[in-house]
Structure 1
Amino acid sequence: MDTTKPPATLWMVAAAALVWNLIGVAMFFLQTNLGPEGIAALPPEQQQVYAAMPAWLDIPYGIAVFGGVLGSIALLLRRRWAVAMFAVSLLAVLVQMAGVYALTPAWEVSGAAGLPMALLVLALAGFLLWYARRAAARGWLR
């Protein structure tokens, strides 16, 4: 049995990660269930991006947010599979972000002003994978 006691920061990081990823799940459901009224309420630039977005990009988006939720839960439960879940989530974030910028007019619409949020999502996904790997290496995860 593992007797390595994790620091309090593990619980703080895991709880914050769960909240962040649950917000991602909410955003996923909002985006995938917009409907005609919701699309019409978007600014014209965002309507262009939404109209150009291939439906298959919802798959990596869903994998990213649900993988993040599962990774966060695994971290809270101190399970090693948190590493795998955060790795899958990061990979899905990369695919989804690349798809959005390569296949839609997102860059033309938002330019560099749209990058901070995309970079924040990537940075947090990368941080969570790094943190889970570190926690596993230190014996905090079973």
Structure 2
Amino acid sequence: MTHRPTRAPTWFRIVAVVLLLWAIAGCYACIQQFRLGAEAMEPASDYDRALYASLPIWYNAVYAVAVGCGLLGAVALLARSVLAVPLITLSLIGVAVQFGWLFAATDIAQVKDWWTAVFPLVIAAVALLSVLLARRARARGWIG
């Protein structure tokens, strides 16, 4: 006998769609960074170019894992798959590693404006809330 998930509330499906759109935007930003480097988001300063050139080789891989797992996790939420939990958790870990290293190992917080610190916090908050949502959905039987 197979387990059928219980019907998820409408708000859950709406949030899952919003997370999917968020993840698509993250993938777009990642691809732009791979294509354009420091120039991805705006005309880059000399500092931006030097910072991007100094990123370790694994940095872009972690970025790709963070956004890729976020995208796959959002799709899994919409498909009501239990895979959403580990995928979204991997995305959160990737975000933590990516921004943790960036702020701990560079002087970006001292050089850039306040938005440079705030936006990564927003990204981390969305990732954390996504994990909590996926775990709640699993516990309530909305996915599985």
**TM-score (normalizing by structure 2):** 0.88
Aligned equivalent of 1:42: 44
- CA drift of 1:46 comes to 2.2
The percent identity for this pair of structures is: 32
- The list of structure 1 runs, each at least 4 consecutive aligned residues, that deviate by more than 3 angstroms after superposition, is 38-41
For 1:1-142, list aligned pairs within 5 A: 1-2=3-4, 4-34=6-36, 38=39, 41-110=43-112, 112-142=114-144
Give the drift of 1:3: 5.4
> Tell me, what secondary structure is at the counterpart of 1:33?
helix
Change (3 A) 1:35 1:20: closer
Q: Deviations over 1:3-54 (max 9, x none)?
A: 5111011211111111101111111111111169x47941333223223222
8 A contact 1:100–1:106 mirrored in 2: yes
- Unaligned regions of 5+ residues in structure 2, if any? none
Quote how far apart the aligned CAs of 1:120 are.
0.2
1:91 aligned counterpart, secondary structure: helix
| CA contact 1:71–1:81 (8 Å) conserved in 2 | yes
Structure 1 residues 3 and 35: alpha-carbon distance in aligned structure 2, compared to 1, 3 A threshold: closer
Give ranges in structure 1 of 5+ residues lacking alignment: none
Q: Residues 52 and 35 (structure 1 numbering): CA distance in 2 closer, same or farther, change over 3 Å? A: closer
**Equivalent residue letter for 2:66:** A
In 2: Cα distance, 1:80 partner to 1:88 partner: 14
Q: TM-score, normalised by structure 1?
A: 0.89
2-side partners of 1:109 and 1:41: how far apart? 16
In structure 2, do the counterparts of structure 1 residues 105 and 48 end up closer, same or farther at CA, with 3 Å as the change threshold?
Answer: farther
**By how many angstroms is 1:112 displaced?**
3.7
Q: Deviations over 1:70-102 (max 9, x none)?
A: 100000000111000011000010000011112
Displacement after TM superposition at 1:104 (Å):
2.8
